[in-house]
């Protein structure tokens, strides 16, 4: 994995500005094809640093989520809605989404149970309002995006010669990521049970 990471860094950086534009296209396509975005977010952190990498990944993850949402809504929605209407529980959830859609989207984005890319398509076939979907997505993906970009930036720093302080920072970052993931998963589960 480290070898792939180093090769990808070299490839995108070797192309200069065109490489960064290509990376943006690859990021969006990977999200649309349901490939893990976490790896690309880490790569963005390695390419641009934590702050700019987070902004880059957040921007293109949001764009990809909107495109997938629209594809699902325009192409798949009618077929899926017919099946949803046959299931009492799914029908009730789908009818609640126009009123509480932003909460459901935000909670789903914070939960690691369903992959980000798949959520994009799933929400596209529901009755959630587009503005609620986009706002909740844009806000709820910030924490994970920053954490993965931080790991990528720190990982690159370590590849270039890791001091004990850098290794400690990486370890702290990984532990923080695990704690944050567990914490958000618990909050999400409790919240979903209450509603």
Question: In what helix (H) or strand (E) does residue 195 lie, and over which residues does it extend?
Answer: none
> Residues 132, 137, 142, 143: what is their CA dihedral angle, to the nearest 10 degrees?
100
Q: What is the pLDDT of residues 12-63, one digit of tens each?
A: 777 888 888 999 999 999 999 999 888 899 999 989 988 999 999 999 999 9
Q: Enter the DSSP assignment of 76.
A: I
The domain total for the chain is: 1
**One-character DSSP codes across 42-102:** HHHHHHH-HHHHHHHHHHHHHHHHHHHHHHIIIIIHHHHHHHHTTSHHHHHHHHHHHHHHH
Q: What is the pLDDT of residues 48-103, one digit of tens each?
A: 988 999 999 999 999 999 999 999 889 877 777 676 677 666 666 667 677 778 88
pTM of the model: 0.77
Domain that holds residue 70: 2-194
d(CA 32, CA 120): 9
Residue 119 near residue 89, CB atoms below 8 Å: no
């Amino acid at each position: 994995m480290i070898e792939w990471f180093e090769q990808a860094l070299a490839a995108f950086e070797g192309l200069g500005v065109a490489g960064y534009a290509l990376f943006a296209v690859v990021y969006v396509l990977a999200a649309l094809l349901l490939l893990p975005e976490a790896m690309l977010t880490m790569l963005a952190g390695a390419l641009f640093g934590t702050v700019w990498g987070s902004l880059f990944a957040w921007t293109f993850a949001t764009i990809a989520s909107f495109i997938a949402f629209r594809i699902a809504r325009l192409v798949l929605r009618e077929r899926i809605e017919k099946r949803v209407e046959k299931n009492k529980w799914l029908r009730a959830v789908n009818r609640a989404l126009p009123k509480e859609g932003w909460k459901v989207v935000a909670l789903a984005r914070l939960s690691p149970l369903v992959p980000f890319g798949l959520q994009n398509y799933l929400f596209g076939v529901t009755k959630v309002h587009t503005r609620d979907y986009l706002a909740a997505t844009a806000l709820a993906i910030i924490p994970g995006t920053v954490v993965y970009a931080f790991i990528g930036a720190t990982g690159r720093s370590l590849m270039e010669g890791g001091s004990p302080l850098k290794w400690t920072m990486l370890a702290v970052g990984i532990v923080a990521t695990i704690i944050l993931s567990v914490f958000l998963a618990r909050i999400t589960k409790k919240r979903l049970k209450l509603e």
